[in-house]
Structure 1
Amino acid sequence: MITWPLAELLPHAGDMILIDHIDSCDDEQINTRTTVRPGGLFNRPDGSLPAWFGIELMAQSVAAFAGCRARRNGQPVELGFLLGTRKYQCDVEHFPSGAELHVHAQRSLEDDNGMGVFECHLHGPGIHATARLNVYTPPQPASYLAEAGPEESAP
């Protein structure tokens, strides 16, 4: 059972936390869920979410997996990057308002350099989406976000 608040597991804040709950998480996989609510930053005028949004729900599920593992190991939650996806397939054009969506992410590859691959499935009422996500957690994530100053970029 996961008792940590999502805000302590994800390197996101406020409205950018898009999953509602972690149902289960172990050393290899995570199961999350969310309900599509109208009025969000990414909603269409009818309250639905475009199907491509499934990639972000999958990516946040993978981030929650990493956050759970870090907390279990007594480590800080680190920033990670979604590098891309292969074979995203979704059988609908949008996720309707009110739909409860379930994401299952299974780790299929992870190396010591921070590269990982996750097989992801999203299910909801009449909805099925799959993707393989490529992710990266650098050894010092803050250095990837630092912007070079004028003196650092001059030859």
Structure 2
Amino acid sequence: MSGLQDSTKSNSAGASLPLPARLLVPHRPPMLIIHQLLERNEDAALAEAIVPTEGIFLDSQAGLLPEYFIELMAQSIAAINGFDARKENRPPLIGYLVGIDNFSWIDRARPGETLQVSLKKTFEFQAVTIMEGRVIGPNGLVACGELKVWEEKE
């Protein structure tokens, strides 16, 4: 997805990409799992994460849990919200993950690997938005699914 047409590389509100996730989302370690927002356009975005080497998403028997990928996509959506707010010089909207559809865990990701999260808006009606997410690792597609989010409108 690299190469999004992005007319929002910089502005007076300090919204230039890439930006560290800690500047865009309310999450803090150990729950902050995305690293940065790389690209953003009207209906799509690209975020980056580094698979953790420890934490609640790692199981000693099973390895990295599928829930990690859902949270990774959700935090990437939150980063979009934070970036848009920063660009428009306003507080971020309050948002909630309200649904997950068609989630597939296709491959494993290993601790320390860099992942890219590609998001595309597929539906929006009032406060509800559906984003299609794809998590891509060094060997290709790792997970994908649709996340339904609700954002309190201004």
Q: Map 1:1-155 to 2 at 5 A.
A: 1-2=16-17, 4-45=19-60, 48-92=63-107, 94-112=108-126, 114-128=127-141, 129-139=143-153
Count of residue correspondences: 138
Q: In 2 relative to 1, CA 124–3 (structure 1 residues): closer, same or farther, beyond 3 Å? A: closer
Choose between structure 1 and 2: higher strand proportion: 2
Unaligned regions of 5+ residues in structure 2, if any? 1-15
Moved over 4 A (4+): none
Q: Partner residue of 1:145?
A: none
Which range is displaced more, 65-74 or 38-47?
38-47
Decide whether the 8 Å contact of 1:8 with 1:77 is kept in 2.
Answer: no
Unaligned regions of 5+ residues in structure 1, if any? 141-155
Q: What residue identity is the alignment partner of 2:72?
A: L
Which range is displaced more, 37-46 or 51-60?
37-46
Identical positions, percent: 26
Q: What residue identity is the alignment partner of 1:56?
A: E
Deviation at 1:51, TM superposition (A): 2.5
Decide whether the 8 Å contact of 1:36 with 1:99 is kept in 2.
Answer: yes
Larger radius of gyration: 1
For 1:95 and 1:68, the matched residues in 2 are separated by 27
For 2:153 and 2:22, the matched residues in 1 are separated by 22
Decide whether the 8 Å contact of 1:35 with 1:99 is kept in 2.
Answer: yes
